[in-house]
């Protein structure tokens, strides 16, 4: 029992020391490289702006969902009616992609960065689908 308690105590002190050294090293590095830190904050700011716009965009369909649902109900083909819904989701996703690429200004470099960007596009498309379907169900009720 005493060895276990001693190990926890020493381990906690060693972990605290390692965290302190890492934080101090990071602080020194940020002090010596302010331009990198500013570039990082710029990326965070642009990413948050894109997230806010991508999150708000599909909610704009609330303005025209009821006339659209009425038009879909008058259509003869269920495939045509479904195609309109798919076209709206594709249009929202294309607007999300175009806005992201505009914000990036061609600054997306590296395979990992592109992977993250594509994950963001996929998440935005799924979000567009969920919100549009939710608004359609709410308008139908």
Q: What residues does each domain of the chain span?
A: 1-32, 35-140
| Average pLDDT along the chain | 85
User: 17: alpha, beta or left, given left = phi > 0 and alpha = psi -120 to 50?
Assistant: alpha
Work out the pLDDT band at 78, boundaries 50, 70, 90.
low
Work out the pLDDT band at 55, boundaries 50, 70, 90.
very high
10-43 tens-digit pLDDT: 888 888 999 999 999 888 887 888 888 888 888 8
pTM as predicted:
0.69
Which residues, at least 6 apart from 114, have a Cβ–Cβ distance to it below 8 Å? 108
């Amino acid at each position: 029992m005493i060895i276990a308690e001693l190990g926890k105590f020493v381990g906690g002190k060693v972990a605290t020391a390692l965290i302190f050294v890492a934080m101090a090293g990071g602080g020194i590095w940020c002090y010596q490289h302010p331009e990198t830190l500013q570039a990082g904050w710029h990326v965070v700011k642009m990413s948050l702006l894109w997230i806010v716009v991508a999150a708000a965009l599909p909610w704009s369909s609330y303005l025209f969902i009821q006339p659209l649902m009425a038009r879909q109900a008058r259509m003869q083909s269920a495939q045509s009616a479904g195609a309109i819904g798919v076209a709206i989701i594709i249009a929202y996703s294309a607007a999300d992609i175009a806005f992201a690429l505009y914000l990036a200004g061609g600054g997306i470099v590296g395979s990992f960065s592109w992977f993250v960007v594509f994950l963001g596009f996929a998440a935005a498309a799924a979000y567009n689908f969920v919100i549009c379907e939710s608004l359609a169900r709410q308008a139908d009720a």
